[in-house]
Amino acid sequence: MQPRQKTLRYLLADGFHDMAYVAWGEPDRPPVVCVHGLTRQGRDFDRLARALASDFYVLCPDLPGRGRSDWLAGPDFYQPLTYVTALAALLATLPPAVHWVGTSLGGICGMILAAQGKTPLTKLVLNDVGPFIPAAAIARIQHYMQPAPVLPDRGALEALLRVIHASFGVPDDDGWAEMAEHSGRDLAEGGITLHYDPAIGEAFNGQPAADVDLSMFWEKITIPTFTIRGALSDLLLPETLAAMEKAGSRSLVLPEIGHAPSLMDDKTISAIRGFLLEN
């Protein structure tokens, strides 16, 4: 099964932009939107989407500035409000009952949207993110978000991904090859680099690392929530997960994995599918 490549147009202060996404399954099935992390793209969800497509219509966007989506005018545009604006345009094309799977930044966007009045979200899967993000995790991400190198080929790109994303717990060599297939941007002068706009790094590194408190959104969420944590994660701390569980979130902790679980293994995929299928 191969996904269908699509685009939609959304409006920012400087004009219209196109956001790319891939769609799996039939449009008459219940929709699931899967949103990736800070420097990733929608094809990270291929294995999960393929497993869900027999029961759901699965849409996996490339956030602005990533993958096939338009780059924006400058670093100031790369912020959660921009992403939520683009994602709201996608939600507007769907029936008003949407399940959400969000990894890291994608989970932050999901929390913001789930907290809104008349939200179309009906279930929320948060992959290694919660209402509190410690400064140390922000600093670590800033460290690896340096200017992306120019590499000779996709083999070298895969080798780089195995280093910078070692904590993802990608379960097999095919998984790394799949990640490399969709993570590169061919350069006109030759070579390949990572698929995101360098201005994203400028935006993220443009301020000192500090704790992030998202409790104002989390406390307004009333839909069923399932939280996945990598046991070695520095971004979703054990005490944060415990507080989320106390508030009613179900959880799954994955051993020997950090931030953020790849969602490529059968156990995790089965757990997400089970949660989304429950009435």
Q: What confidence tens digit (pLDDT) does each residue in 232-255 have?
A: 999 999 999 999 999 999 999 999
Average pLDDT of every residue of the chain:
96
Query: Is pLDDT at 115 greater than 80 in this prediction?
Result: yes
Whole-number Å distance between alpha carbons of 255 and 223: 27
pLDDT tens-digit profile of 145-181? 878 899 999 999 999 999 999 999 999 999 999 999 9
Cis bond before residue 97 (omega within 30° of 0): no
Residue 88: per-residue pLDDT: 98
In the structure, what pLDDT confidence band is assigned to residue 105 with cuts at 50, 70 and 90?
A: very high
How much is the pLDDT for 148?
83
| Percent of residues, the chain, with pLDDT higher than 90 | 94
Q: Taking residues 99-122, report their average pLDDT.
A: 98
Reported as a single tens digit per residue, the pLDDT across 36-74 is 999 999 999 999 999 999 999 999 999 999 999 999 999
φ/ψ region of 248 (left if φ > 0, alpha if ψ in -120 to 50, else beta) reads left
For residue 205, is pLDDT > 90? no
- What is the Cα–Cα distance from 88 to 98, expressed in whole angstroms? 12
- Which among 84, 85, 82 has a CA at the least distance from the CA of 112? 84
Query: Domains in the chain, please, with CATH?
Result: 4-133+214-277 (3.40.50.1820)
Contact between residue 197 and residue 72 where contact means Cβ atoms under 8 Å apart: yes
Structural contact between residues 237 and 139, judged by C-beta atoms closer than 8 angstroms: no
Q: Cα(48)–Cα(265) distance, rounded to whole angstroms? A: 9
116-150 pLDDT per residue, tens: 999 999 999 999 999 999 999 999 998 888 788 99
Q: According to the model, what pLDDT value does residue 206 have?
A: 82
pLDDT at 92: 97
User: Longest C-alpha distance within the chain, in Å?
Assistant: 54
